[in-house]
Amino acid sequence: MIFSTRILLPLAAVPLLGATPPVGADVTVMVSNMRSANGLVSACLAHEKAAFPDCSGPGGLDMTVPAGKAKAFTFRNVVPGRYAIALLHDENSNGKIDKALMIPREGFGFSRDAPVRMGPPPFSAAAFEVGEDDISQPIKMRYIL
């Protein structure tokens, strides 16, 4: 009996030795002021200025969520650092922001409710810190037309 216990206990611990906890925090985006549930909401979580606001450069994570389910969604296991979020409510699901005379016809929003002047805000205006604890970022969708 003692022999079998000595064998079983080390074997039971083997899966625990190989298990690694997830690295980083969850960043939950809480979206308000959605005009409709039509289309998609595209989100860019940018870690670098070059990736903000559309995740076209290095250092960005993007996610697309059906607009009807976009009131809250989460980027999981985000490595600690400085980030900014940009949202686009692509109401017609064509994958781009539609404009009329250079004015957006679809909704947009930024973390920290960064002000918009002649184009998107700079990364620094929308940036926030991600540490080890999960956080929420409220973002108010804005519509001009």
Check pLDDT > 60 for residue 128: yes
Is the residue at 2 inside a domain? no
Is the residue at 45 inside a domain? yes
Is the residue at 16 inside a domain? no
State pLDDT tens for residues 57-112.
888 999 999 999 999 999 999 999 999 999 999 999 998 889 998 889 999 999 99
Task: Assess contact for 143 and 99: CB atoms under 8 A.
Answer: no
Is the residue at 11 inside a domain? no
Identify the CATH number of the domain in which residue 63 sits. Answer: 2.60.40.1120
Check pLDDT > 50 for residue 14: no
Cα–Cα dist 122/141, whole Å: 17
Taken in order 27, 31, 37, 41, the sign of the CA dihedral is negative
pLDDT value, residue 113: 95
Is the residue at 103 inside a domain? yes
Is the residue at 113 inside a domain? yes
Is the residue at 4 inside a domain? no
Mean pLDDT (the chain, rounded): 88
Nearest to 86 by CA among 65, 110, 112: 110
Domain with 105, as residue range(s), is 22-140
Q: For residue 102, is it left (φ>0), alpha (ψ between -120 and 50) or beta? A: left
pLDDT value, residue 118: 85
What is Dmax (Cα atoms) for the chain? 82
pLDDT value, residue 6: 44
Number of domains into which the chain is organized: 1
Is the residue at 50 inside a domain? yes
pLDDT value, residue 133: 97
Nearest to 53 by CA among 138, 102, 114: 114
Cα–Cα dist 9/17, whole Å: 13
State pLDDT tens for residues 26-55.
999 999 999 999 999 999 999 999 999 999
